[in-house]
A and B are shown apart, each in its own frame.
Chain A
Amino acid sequence: MVIVEVRNLSKRFGEKESLKNINIKVESGEVLALIGPTGAGKTTLLRLIDLLDMPTSGRIYFDDTDVTQLGKVGLETRRRMAFVSQKPVVFNTTVYNNIAYGLKWRGVGKSSIRQKVDNILEMVNLSDHKNRNAGTLSGGEAQRVAIARAIAVEPEVLLLDEPTANLDPISTSRIEELITNIIHRYGTTIVMTTHDMAQGQRLADRIVVLINGEVHQVGERSEVFAFPRDREVAEFVGMKNIFLVEFKGSKAWLQNLEVELGREMKDAQGYLAIRPEDIVISRERLSSSMRNNFRGVISKIIREGFYYEVQVKVGWVIFKVLITGNALSELDLREGASIYLAFKSTAIHTFQ
């Protein structure tokens, strides 16, 4: 069942068109992630869904009813949703009062409020801070108050705008844990935005990729990651090797390198993308099934957490390869060393 639907939604701020003709359906009970780079229009879209702003054109449906208006319908619809913003916002009063406000505004009785707030405080692990002024909490704690405040009103749809964007890794994982708890416990429909592809993968059932105010791809979480539909999405999901090429038959010319695609393409210009972890580095030329073998020189090695990004220059082209620390020391890789790299034709994504 579709609970929220936006049709042909556009929003313009002066000259800037932030959202262009957006069509999205949110199924009841699912977690939908809107992902995209900063400035893609994710927050704008979320605010429109929550009826905090009105679209320039297009309609918003809640439970198959057109709710695109402020005033009474807007208020009633908004009361079926809750919104958590990127920057933790708390009212200058106790943690308890912060969480109680939404219920108070809905006319819930005092004893019922007390019971609900106490339960939720326990769930978000803030019972000890019940009577503290929320303004004195840390960023992560304040964000937990904001989430607690949102779920206290038992929304049918929970809107989360980059809930972890400003937080450290530990607070981030706590918030993600909390969101997972909410999903299990209440089965709330969640629409969240994130610029973190990995977070989208961890939390969402479906992903909508929003770039420059346009929907580029909608799909299951693994689908978007494995099969990006165009160059922009490919770039966003971490395919670091994206090249402009000339397709010819089953081959692509990447400057003067001949790349074997293993499938026929239309003769034209287009893009070719390879995930950095899909490229293999070796000291000797590999005699494997991998059709594409090139000899190159390491131009740079960059540490990325547990992994290393090795940049290999083949002719004028630079390939980025992701390897583990072990592989790095086993192969004794260093800048300036001459090595071989190889990749399967099935690892190549093509966009025309």
Chain B
Amino acid sequence: MIEVWHAFIKAIELIVSLDPEVMEIAGRSLGISATSVILASLICLPLGGLIHFYRFPGKRVLINVIQTLFSIPSVCIGLLVFVLFSRAGPIGGLNLLFTPTTMVIGHMMLITPILLGLTISALSGVDKAIKDTALSLGASDFQAVIIISKEARFAIVAAIIMGFGRAVSELGIALMVGGNIRGFTRVLTSAIALESQKGELEMAIALGIILLSLSFIVNVVLNRIQQR
């Protein structure tokens, strides 16, 4: 028990002293997760809108599939990306395996169902009367879509927060397609796994605390933005 307590104290020291390696790993985690969330949002928010606003055959089935994929294990995505990008894979020639780029791609695939599904449910959560009111006040169809999306903004930001949380906390993709290469693809989760296996508890705990703090800060910032 004392050993754990010591590790905890040392972890705090590592954070307070802005240990270069710890900071570098945290920065990379934030960068990769943020990039994937931003890119995925750019695709998923409009796409979710299209799925919500247009009627087409198989819509309900599609939404069910999307919701099922909420809980897809990250190792499955990791495996898929690994197979796609490995030397013998269909796009192995790009030589992208074990780079931050493939990690971003993996993360995007992981959180796309969450962003799509939650965007659709955010938009369906808007009272139908809002659309009628907008149209009756002379909004074109496009202007009505914009105002409905604005009404759904809280729920949409919640979707983005969920997506970020999933991306920053997953391990499967980071290990399988990132490779946990020191100074290149090592992120918080893969570093925690490695350090605790090595018995470097203080380092693992420090990284764990940072991971939690990072999620907390992103949450606070996004909440601030949506309250404006």
Contacts and interface: CB of A to CB of B under 8 A. Distances in A.
Contacts of B130: 89, 91
Interface stretch (B4-12, B64-72, B100-108, B134-142): B134-142
A85 B137 contact: no
Interface in B119-162: 127, 129-130, 132-140, 143, 147, 150-151
A89 B129 contact: yes
Contacts of B136: 50, 52, 78, 81-83, 85, 159
Main secondary structure of the interface of A (DSSP, over half): mixed
Range of interface residues on A (Cβ < 8 Å):
20 to 34
Nearest to A75: B140
A79 interface: yes
A83 B127 CA distance: 17
Given A91-B151, A92-B151, A52 B135 contact: yes
Interface string A256-300: 000000000000000000000000000000000000000000000
B147 A78 contact: no
Interface in A92-112: 92-93, 101-102, 105-106
B138 to A, nearest CB: 4
B129 A150 contact: no
A83 B143 CA distance: 17
A105 B138 contact: yes
Contacts of B129: 85, 87, 89
Interface residues of B, number: 16
Which residue of B129, B138, B143, B150 has the most chain A CB atoms within 10 A of its CB atom? B138
Interface in A116-148: 146
Interface string B181-216: 000000000000000000000000000000000000
A215 B151 CA distance: 38
A52 B132 contact: yes
A233 B127 CA distance: 35
B151 A78 contact: no
Given A89-B127, A91-B151, A101 B132 contact: no
A85 B143 CA distance: 20
20 contacts: A75-B138, A78-B138, A83-B132, A83-B137, A85-B132, A85-B136, A89-B129, A89-B132, A91-B130, A91-B147, A92-B151, A93-B150, A101-B134, A101-B139, A101-B147, A105-B137, A105-B138, A105-B139, A149-B137, A150-B137
Given A52-B132, A105-B140, A105-B143, 17 more contacts: A50-B136, A75-B138, A78-B135, A78-B136, A82-B137, A83-B132, A85-B132, A85-B136, A89-B127, A89-B132, A89-B133, A91-B150, A92-B150, A92-B151, A93-B150, A101-B139, A105-B139
